[in-house]
Amino acid sequence: QVQLVESGGGLVQAGGSLRLSCAASGRTLTGYAMGWFRQAPGKEREFVARIRWSSSITYYADSVKGRFTISRDNAKNTVYLQMNRLKPEDTAVYYCAADTNPYTSTYNYESRYDYWGQGTQVTVSS
pLDDT tens string 43-100: 999 999 999 988 779 999 999 999 999 999 989 999 999 999 999 999 999 999 999 9
Q: What residues contact residue 95 under an 8 Å CB cut-off, 6+ apart?
A: 6, 36, 37, 38, 39, 45, 116, 117, 118, 119
